[in-house]
A and B are shown apart, each in its own frame.
Chain A
Amino acid sequence: MSDLIVRAYDVRFGDAIFVSVPDMENGQLVERTILFDFGNSLGTEGGADAVFEPVIDDLIARLGGRPLDLYVMTHEHLDHVQGLFFSAKTFNKRIHAKQAWLTGSSDPHYYDGNTHPGAKKQKIAALAAMRLVGARLTAAQAASPFVGSLLAVNDPKATADCIDFLRTQLTDPGGVHYVDRTTDLGPLWTGPGTIELLAPEANTADYYGAFKGFASGLGKLGIESFDDLDGIAPTSPPSAPPSGVDAGAFYNLLDVRHGAASTLLEIDQAANNTSIVLLLEWKGWRLLFSGDAEKRSWRMMDARTQLAPVHFLKISHHGSGTGLPPDPILEKVLPKPAAGQPVTRRAIVSTFPNTYRGVPDTKMLTSLGDRVQVFSTRDEPHHPFVELRFPDTGPG
């Protein structure tokens, strides 16, 4: 008997989820390996980089010199992409992969031409807003370390280096695939089991909500190219209000208009919602890896796919309230057992306290207890990972 194994490393505030799927090859039992993300946040204790070394050591040992069968970068956030780049650069330790699946929107050509005009417009607006509010956000770090974490996770330059590493050094050029829900996975995954992508949508414009931050409206008219963003400088407040205007009200107006932190939060949520959400089915087990998908993505998955109960869920976004599906969708994915029946479904949350305010949402995680057993990378703080097994006899 051999088990499918899900191992969630303790990388503090980040994800590194290793999956081993038993397979037969030439009559021999072998394993197919998948790694979902590897990274953590910067800026606080939750982003300590020292935690990467034991994880890369364990991965190297676990693989025994073989390449990963598949690496999945769920989305372009530092707490999901930093680890492999950092390990190679700092410890000179690296692994290789036969394939790397990256989000469709991380394709360097994604915004070329007129393929995704809405997404391009939104992305440029988001980047412009990031620059425009940059000065205020940096100043705000002193008042709130959580803003620092948000800034670090969303830092496009730092993230770009890490993603470049995944594109160019993790696998052969032919092994990099930019995927979305519409990608034909047939040629890419031939087993064991089946893989289905529930998200993201090809057009990431769908992940930007109705509430654009005030600052996102401050972008220069006519910016249609990423290159033009360089012309934007962080703004600074005027020195004095107009004559006859109350100074307190004037400066308050500027502060509210910038809405710097809320703008950044919107950008953060939009990127989370581009997460690859992958359903792995094997021997009757259904395992759902949801990256950092937030409610907007869950609603779109519900509208565009047939969501059904799963036996395992990688809880989104480190256990935040916004990463949990809305109740009706949660009931589809993790239905409560009938009265008197035991809770058999399982979930893992990879998280660390005091990095994002209110994350993990311990109250919310506790409330999940009546529908799923929740395991956390923080259950045993000195243990390098939490591991769940799924026997090949199926769920029964």
Chain B
Amino acid sequence: MRARLPMMIQDPEISQTDVGRMVEDWIGLDQEHYLDGPVTPRIALVDLDPDTEALRPAVKFQPPAGSRTLGRYAANRNAVESRAFIAVSAFATVWRTVKLFEEERTLGRTISWGFDAPQLLVVPQAGWLENAYYERSSHSLQFFAFDAGNKTIYTSLSRDIVAHETAHALIDGIDPDLYDALEPQALALHEGIADLTAMLIAFDSGRLTHAILDKTQGRIDVSNAFSSIGEQFGDAIARGPKPGFLRNLHNDAKIDPRHEEIEPHALSQVISGVLYELIVDMHEHFKDVYAPRFGGDRLKASGLALAVAAKLFQRMVLRGIDYLPPGEVTFADFGRAILAADEASPGDRQWGAKLRARFVERRIVADEATLDVRTNFESPPVGAVNLQGLTDSEWVAYRFADGNRDLLGIPADAEFEVLKRVVVDGRVQAPEQTAAQMSKRAQPPAAGEPADGAAAAGDTTPDPDSGTPFRELLFKVRWSQVEDNPPGFDPPQRRVQTGTTLVIDWNGRQVRALQRPINFEERRSARDAVLSDLVDRGIVEICGPEGPAHGAPSPAGIDAVATGGILRVKQTARLLHVVQELDA
């Protein structure tokens, strides 16, 4: 059964001023069950009253009936601040973001949540705060509301914010170590990718894309509604002049090696900024490519160019998360992971070269050679192993890892853990194939098209026959290392995680990539800085294995437990919950 789901085109302000309409429809994919709520096996709305915490009545599902072939929820699309619409729109946006990650041409599989349970809970009106967050421990996305002047801002009505928080949940499912990292760039990566996901979900709306490109004369290399994340929210919480965004991807933030930023939101702008430049490069390129189809008009070609660039960018960047090694990683590791995923697949190589240059310009790496990766090479043990056994059997997996410590970089004396193996069934589309599929959507909407017409559905699932299929196995092994804390720190040492990702081409039985962090030891001082900051600001309280002082959890919910003189810090990604200090 399929369902028509109304969702916000952008936050209410942008939708109204830039697009001229609030809502578009998205056709949710086949599900065995749609329950009142909305509730499906993987995503469930839990509509708690923000004042009393009482569970509010679920929004009723109306199955297909008569000539209506799509199911729908009983939400009034003309009342976007109604409880029912907020619930359905949040649900649709979460789901659409999930599907964007899971598309065959992107990650090519169903992603398991980071909390080891099947259902992500979504609380659309979690309370009254200037915030929204993903929280692993409660398996939930929580969207708050707040008053700003004479209006109420519902974060769950912001497409950007819902997509951003859903991305945190998805990233946690793909690489849970980022959630527990001490490395400031790892936390910033979580945030940066979430911001870029918000941008991709904006690109996924044909209506929004056309409206914004109209406004910018077909350019995205200027600040615009794509590069601005959380516009209404950013303006509402601003204490001074309204900036027009919470964060701007169109920025020139660089790494300052003399004084590296450790606040994850601020630092994230370096990685989101450098990757935004990449999509700008792609967009300009495809405008040139497609302009002849539009009589040489680059402005008219800008919609199709953006649709193709977005899908290419989406595949490159999100597959980079798959290729990251486990544990503490940096922007440079992510850059290498993107390049490895890209170079291991068929396609042109021009974007890798651009990315290398941009990473150097932003001082993420000193030179382009640092980002060099080796892909698609033979390895006798990989050629010999039974891949199905390696996937299904813990015994085979551990035996393989133990017998190939040199290949995987596992220290001889390290106890290691083989993570759950992941099989990717993906598809690489050439730009032309993407263009063929996107070209219908890339046309401006026809005059007189009905407000809730199916043309606005935005279902861009690739044609099953389009592109080159591939299957790869992600084999990840992780171990911990003990390193010194800053001088005078108690306890004197801490345990940090590191590891290796081995990507195997299932059919070719080759190594697609073998990824290890490149500067793990050198980054100890950055991890020191984060730890000292957390302790000095009172955000974490270090406790023994018996638990924190006062009988209460750490104020920020970040665990810092010392056992036998060695500290282990977890759930540092809760730092990302904070948008800004109130009245700071």
Decide if B549 touches A250 in the complex (CB within 8 Å). Answer: no
Q: DSSP majority for the B interface?
A: loop
B53 touches A235 (CB 8 A): yes
Q: Tally of A-B residue pairs with Cβ under 8 A?
A: 192
Stretch at the interface among A7-15, A104-112, A162-170, A293-301: A293-301
CA distance A253 to B488 in the complex (A): 39
Contact A265 B129 (CB under 8 A): no
0/1 string, B266-282, CB within 8 A of A gives 1: 00000000000000000
Q: How far is the CA of A361 from the CA of B541 in the complex (A)?
A: 12
List chain B residues, Cβ under 8 A from A235.
Answer: 52-53
A-chain residues with CB within 8 Å of residue B135 when the two chains form the complex: 256
Residue A206 at the chain B interface, CB threshold 8 Å: yes
**Most chain-A Cβ atoms within 10 A of its Cβ — which of B119, B127, B553?**
B127
CB of A107, distance to nearest CB on chain B (Å)? 19
Contact of B39 among A244, A265, A269 (CB under 8 A): A244
> Do the beta carbons of B555 and A211 come within 8 Å of each other?
yes
Residues of A within 8 A of B488 (CB): 327
Whether, in the assembled complex, A261 has its beta carbon less than 8 Å from a beta carbon of chain B, the answer is yes
B582 touches A243 (CB 8 A): no
Q: Pick the contact of A295 from B39, B127, B537 — CB < 8 Å?
A: B537
CB < 8 Å: which of A212, A254, A294 contacts B53? Answer: A254
Q: Which residue of B lies closest to A325 (CB)?
A: B536
B50 and A249 form a contact (CB under 8 A)? no
Cross-interface CB contact of B139 among A118, A146, A252, A295, cutoff 8 Å: A252
Pick from B140-148, B226-234, B289-297 the stretch touching chain A.
B140-148
- Complex contact A217–B537 (CB within 8 A): no
Q: Which residues of A contact B580 (CB under 8 A)?
A: 210
Comparing B30-38, B181-189, B248-256, B467-475, the segment that makes contact with chain A is B30-38
Interface size class of A (residues with CB under 8 A): 35 or more
Chain B stretch 543-563: residues in CB contact (< 8 A) with chain A = 543, 547-557
Against A, the Cβ 8 Å flags (1 = close, 0 = not) of B130-172 are 0100010111101011010000100000000000000000000
Return chain A residues, CB-CB under 8 Å to B581: 209-210
Which of A212, A216, A242, A356 is close to B44, meaning CB atoms less than 8 Å apart?
A242
Q: Which residues of A are found within 8 Å of B360, using beta-carbon distances?
A: none
Interface centre among A118, A121, A147, A326 (most CB of B within 10 A): A326
Among B36, B488, B538, max chain A CB count under 10 A is at: B538
Closest to B487 in A: A327
What distance in Å separates the Cβ of B154 from its nearest Cβ neighbour in chain A? 11
Q: Are A209 and B555 in contact, with the CB atoms below 8 A? A: yes
- Tell whether B578 is near chain A: CB-to-CB under 8 Å: yes
Q: Cβ of B490 < 8 Å from any Cβ of A? A: yes
A367 within 8 A of partner (CB): yes
Asked whether A208 and B582 contact (CB < 8 A) given A242-B55, A243-B35, A327-B488, the answer is yes
**What's the Cα separation between A263 and B445 when bound, in Å?**
50
Query: Are A249 and B535 closer than 8 Å at their CB atoms?
Result: no
Known: A245-B119, A253-B121, A326-B536. A221 touches B51 (CB 8 A): yes
Query: Which of chain A's residues 348-381 have a Cβ closer than 8 Å to chain B?
Result: 356-359, 361, 363-364, 367
Would A358 and B33 count as touching, CB distance under 8 A?
Answer: no
- On chain B, the number of residues with a Cβ less than 8 Å from chain A's Cβ atoms is 67
Residues of B within 8 A of A174 (CB): none
Contact call B549/A238, Cβ cutoff below 8 A: no
Are B121 and A218 closer than 8 Å at their CB atoms?
no
Q: B550–A205 contact, CB under 8 A?
A: no
B539 at the interface (CB under 8 A from A): yes
A230 partner residues in chain B, CB cutoff 8 A: none
Q: Are B583 and A206 in contact (CB under 8 A)?
A: yes
Cβ of B530 < 8 Å from any Cβ of A?
A: no
Tell me the bound Cα distance from A242 to B50 in angstroms: 16
Assess whether A200 is interfacial by the CB under 8 Å rule.
Answer: no
Q: Which residues of A contact B40 (CB under 8 A)?
A: 244
Chain A 239-268 near chain B by CB (<8 Å), digits 1 or 0: 011111110011011101101011011101
B144: chain A residues within 8 A (beta carbon): 217
Taking CB atoms, residues of chain B closer than 8 Å to A210 are 539, 578, 580-582, 584
| Residues of B with C-beta under 8 A to A246 | 117-119
Tell me the minimal C-beta distance from B118 to chain A in angstroms. 8
CB distance from B95 to the nearest CB of A (A): 15
Q: CB of A144 within 8 A of chain B?
A: yes
User: B121 contacts A296, CB within 8 Å?
Assistant: no
A214, A219, A235, A367 interface centre (most CB from chain B within 10 Å)? A214
Q: A210-B582, A218-B53 are in contact. Are A269 and B538 (CB under 8 A)?
A: yes
**Cα distance, A205 to B581, chains bound together (Å):** 11
Whether the Cβ atoms of A245 and B551 lie closer than 8 Å is no
With A208-B582, A262-B552 already in contact, the answer to whether A218 and B50 are too (CB < 8 A) is: yes
Whether a CB of chain A sits under 8 angstroms from the CB of B65 is no
A320 contacts chain B at the CB level, 8 A cutoff:
yes
Give Cα A244–Cα B40 distance, bound, in whole angstroms: 7
Interchain nearest-CB distance for A267 vs B (Å): 10
- Is A46 interfacial (CB 8 A cutoff)? no
Q: Is A113 positioned at the interface, with any CB of B under 8 Å from its CB?
A: no
CB pair A252–B53 under 8 Å, yes or no, is: no
In whole Å, how far is A125's beta carbon from the nearest beta carbon of chain B? 9
| A359 CB contacts on chain B under 8 angstroms | 549-550
Q: Which of B46, B58, B555, B584 has most A Cβ within 10 Å?
A: B555
**Contacting residues, chain B, for A144 (C-beta < 8 A):** 551
Q: Are A257 and B550 in contact (CB under 8 A)?
A: no
**Residue B3 lies at the interface, judged by CB distance under 8 Å to chain A:** no
CB <8 Å contact, A265 and B552: yes
CA distance A79 to B582 in the complex (A): 28
- A233 CB to closest chain B CB (Å) equals 8
Q: Which of B37, B550, B555 meets A356, CB within 8 Å? A: B550
Please name all residues of chain A whose beta carbon is closer than 8 Å to the beta carbon of B54 when the two chains form the complex.
238
CA distance A245 to B543 in the complex (A): 35
Residues of A302-333 at the interface with B, using a CB-CB cut-off of 8 Å, are 320-322, 326-328
B196: Cβ under 8 A from any A Cβ = no
Say yes or no: A220-B51 contact (C-beta < 8 A), given A257-B142, A320-B549.
Answer: yes
Cβ proximity bits B89-131 to A, threshold 8 Å, 1 near / 0 not? 0000000000000000000000000000111010100111101
A261 to B39, CA, bound (A): 31
Give the complex CA separation of A242 and B56 in angstroms.
Answer: 9
The complex places the Cα of A367 from the Cα of B35 at a distance, in Å, of 59
Q: Which residues of B contact A99 (CB under 8 A)?
A: none
Does residue A277 face the partner (Cβ distance < 8 Å to B)? no
Residue A396, interface by CB 8 Å:
no
Instruction: Assess whether B139 is in contact with A249, with CB atoms less than 8 Å apart.
Output: yes
User: With A and B bound together, what is the CA distance between A223 and B425 in angstroms?
Assistant: 53
Closest 9 CB pairs of A and B: A358-B549, A217-B127, A146-B551, A261-B552, A217-B129, A256-B138, A144-B551, A326-B536, A244-B39
B contacts, CB < 8 Å to A: 33, 35-37, 39-41, 44-48, 50-55, 58, 117-119, 121, 123, 126-129, 131, 135, 137-140, 142, 144-145, 147, 152, 488, 490, 535-539, 541-543, 547-557, 577-578, 580-584
Task: Please name 30 pairs of A and B residues whose Cβ atoms are closer than 8 Å in the assembled complex, sorted by A.
Answer: A121-B583, A146-B550, A150-B552, A217-B50, A217-B144, A218-B128, A220-B51, A242-B45, A242-B55, A243-B37, A243-B39, A246-B117, A254-B53, A256-B137, A261-B551, A262-B554, A262-B557, A264-B552, A265-B552, A265-B553, A266-B555, A295-B537, A322-B541, A322-B549, A357-B548, A357-B549, A357-B551, A358-B543, A358-B549, A358-B550
